[in-house]
Amino acid sequence: MIPTSASTTASVEPMASAICPAENIDRAQIDRLLERILSRFRSAFSHRPEFIAIAEEISSFVLNGGKRVRPKLCISTYRILSNLQHDAVIPRPLTWLASSLELFHAFMLVHDDLIDKSPIRRDRLSLHESIRHHAASFGTDQISPAKAASLALVIGDMMFTIGMSMVNQSGLPSRLSRNVHNIISNMLLETGLGQGLDILFEDRPLQDFEDGNREIVDAYLYKTARYTITGPMLIGATMADTKPDLISALKNLGDVIGLAYQLQNDLEDLERAYSDLDSSDLDTGKRTAILIHAYKSLNSSERDALTRLLDEPPTPDRRRQLLSILETTGAIQHAQKWVEQLRSEALAAIQVLPLAASGRQAFAQMFALEGFSFV
């Protein structure tokens, strides 16, 4: 959630938005469709117990947990730009497109957990760990970590395929099909590029980040912003036959909010370190904007000490020392101020959207419902 403590020079008046009750309607519709699609998948491949086990893992991973942020942003954008009442049924193609985003998201999470070797996702076992836990369902007493990882990789790819199948079966109007397919393709490609940067940066010497925040911003925009905020909004806007100037304005807005979203995730990871001395970013020495800012603020000997500390295995004492460095260099405060700056930029971007005042208010309200408060 983007902090709301700092004031901004501009403001958006609170409004009683019709999308509040629609959010619950849309969430229910998304979940019903996902359940139906995954149930069909299970039925189509029920002639082998191994296939049933795979289908169960997919259903459990996709349906249990998650806020459906991407599908809801997609549908809410369409509702705003089409001036739909809260009780109006959205078109079938949009429901299918929006719901496919949850399959793509699951696909990316599976790969992300494999890369990070993370045992937990959404307070549950990550997919590769769940496979090991449910070895009996796959017809064996035990599945090795390596085999579970390989199987999770394949199952993650299946999630991608099911998502693409939903796009192809959505019944898109032919006049919109090319644009929507381009948005989805670019969104997924850019996310892969961002993940690639993330991997390449994970052990990169801090002194090699010569361009300050630019390289990290690129990774944040590609890996997080485009498929979490910008892409879903552009799909909804395209389905609403939005004009190019508004599409461009929404892309800028989505990128600003998406960047703030990732920065806030970095801050929340550090908050967990304060509460239980557990932080995936600190433990792995992840190259975040916060860590790089801290490094740039140190003198030569202090930089050498930080580099040596990052080379040590993760322990509670190491986490405390890293947190102390982030605090004393002002890196955490810098990130908080940066989020507030982006919040102000997003607010300004909303205020210049080529829409009536009610439409601009609706976008502010939409993001407030997802935890991005502008009031």
- So where are the chain's domains? 19-369
Instruction: Tell me the residue type at 220.
Output: Y
pTM of the model: 0.90
The pLDDT score that the predictor gives to residue 4 is 32
Tokens of 12: 């958006």
As a whole number of angstroms, the distance between CA 94 and CA 79 comes to 11
Half-sphere exposure of 40 (CA within 13 A, CB side): 8
In sequence order, the β-bridge partners of residue 124 are 121
CATH code of domain 19-369? 1.10.600.10
Handedness of CA 165, 166, 170, 174 (dihedral sign): negative
pLDDT the model gives residue 13: 38
Contact 170, 97 (CB under 8 A): yes
Helices 300-311, 316-328: inter-axial angle, 10-degree rounding? 150
**SS3 assignment, position 121:** strand
Please give the pLDDT value at position 258.
Answer: 95
- Selection from 74, 75, 83, 72 nearest residue 18 by Cα: 83
The rounded distance, in Å, linking the Cα atoms of 299 and 323 is 18
CB-neighbour burial class of residue 123 (10 A; exposed 0-12, middle 13-18, buried 19+):
exposed
Q: Give me the numbers of helices (H) and strands (E) for the chain, helices first please.
A: 16, 2
What does each C-alpha distance from 284 to 161, 163, 192, 201, 310 come to in angstroms? Answer: 31, 31, 21, 12, 8
- Helix runs in 221-369, H state only: 231-239, 244-276, 280-284, 289-296, 300-311, 316-328, 331-351, 357-369
What pLDDT does residue 333 have?
97
pLDDT in tens, the chain (375 residues): 333 333 333 333 333 344 456 777 788 999 999 999 999 999 999 999 999 999 999 999 999 989 999 999 999 999 999 998 877 889 999 999 999 999 999 999 999 999 988 998 988 999 999 999 999 999 999 999 999 999 999 999 999 999 999 999 999 999 999 999 999 999 999 999 999 999 999 889 999 997 768 899 999 999 999 999 999 999 999 999 999 999 999 999 999 999 999 999 999 989 888 876 567 789 889 999 999 999 999 999 999 999 999 999 998 899 999 999 999 999 999 999 999 999 999 999 999 999 999 999 999 998 886 666 543
**What's the pLDDT at 10?**
36
Q: What pLDDT score does 246 carry?
A: 97
- Token readout for 275 is 């509460």
User: What per-residue confidence (pLDDT) applies to 20?
Assistant: 55
> Cα–Cα distances in Å, from 48 out to 37, 42, 43, 186?
19, 10, 11, 36
Helix (H) or strand (E) holding 100: helix 92-116
